[in-house]
Amino acid sequence: MPGPIIAAFKGAAGPDVLAFAAPLSRASGRPLMVAAVYPGRAPVGLGRVDAEWVAYNRDEADSLLDEARGLLGDEPGVDYRSVAADSASHGLHDLLEQSGPTAVAVLGSSNAKGTRRTVVGSTADRLLQGAPGPVVIVPWAYEEYAAAAVTRIAVAYVATPDGAAALAFGQALAAELGASLSLISVLPDTQVRPSLGDRTGFAAEQRAAFRAAVEQAAASAGGSSTLLEGPVVDALTGLQPTDVDLLVVGSRGYGPARRVLLGGVSSRVLKQAKVPVLVVPRG
């Protein structure tokens, strides 16, 4: 059975997280875990811990979970957990690791000053560097325009190992949800052009190669394909909630296996996306 959906409930972004995580849980049949992480220890001297401080933080976490219960209402089978850890990112990392490689963590964004886009907070930023499983970042104010279900999944595809990992996960999730799958490849405007010879013909060859690669991958995955042109980050962050419900991207192509390690493109997409973005660990 696929792993749980782990919803990190914290502060004003909590409702945004539940607005994405709960429908995903319902549609996939995956269990929903709502987690509130609190500082577990506060040393006040050698071998001593401030028990009152720990109890206060635990009560605060329990209050957050009560708020989540109120938002979810009679949602059946939800696992509410208050988790003690030295930091929120460590607590979520441990939960993700304990829940298995198919578990998915869902986190919210920091306030983007009224704009509906992702602004990765410190907890998400630290978790994304080395997370043992997929992580979804939900845009700020997502609750206001949340999709009733994830029915359209887009994969940012490039013919590299990290692109293949993103496609494999996106394809599996689309099958799990009964969602449509589209592959989006971007012909970047930074492609090298020859200083001599037919530059127009060379550009056409590059375009044809990119198109052939994404069309072949889409045909194998049972999805559709789109080739965009221009700056990669601008093309991907131009996707609107009316276009897709979830964008799947890969991690950097090197680093520890089965770990998320953000590259330059993924990192910038996360900071500017207007739709939920799922980052897949390296295979």
Mean pLDDT computed over every residue of the chain? 84
80-114 as b/e: b if 16+ CB within 10 A: bebbebeebbbbbbebbeebeebbbbbbbbbeeee
- pLDDT value at residue 125: 72
Most confident of 69-83, 97-111, 118-132: 69-83
Please give the sequence-ordered ranges of beta strands (E in DSSP) within 149-219, or none if there are none.
Answer: 152-156, 180-187
The residue extents of the domains of the chain are: 1-146, 149-282
Q: Are 83 and 37 contacting, i.e. CB atoms less than 8 angstroms apart?
A: yes
- Does domain 149-282 bear CATH number 3.60.15.10? no
> Among all chains, which residue has been given the structure tokens 């690669």?
213
**Higher-scoring residue by pLDDT: 29, 117:** 29
Q: Are 58 and 43 contacting, i.e. CB atoms less than 8 angstroms apart?
A: no
Amino acid, single-letter form, for residue 41: R
- pLDDT value at residue 146: 95
Element (H, E) at 33: strand 32-39
Element (H, E) at 24: helix 14-28
- pLDDT value at residue 35: 96
- State pTM to two decimals: 0.86
**Higher-scoring residue by pLDDT: 271, 25:** 25
Collect all residues with Cβ–Cβ distance below 8 Å to 236 and sequence separation of at least 6: 156, 184, 186, 247, 249, 265, 269, 273
The architecture of the domain spanning 1-146 is 3-Layer(aba) Sandwich (3.40)
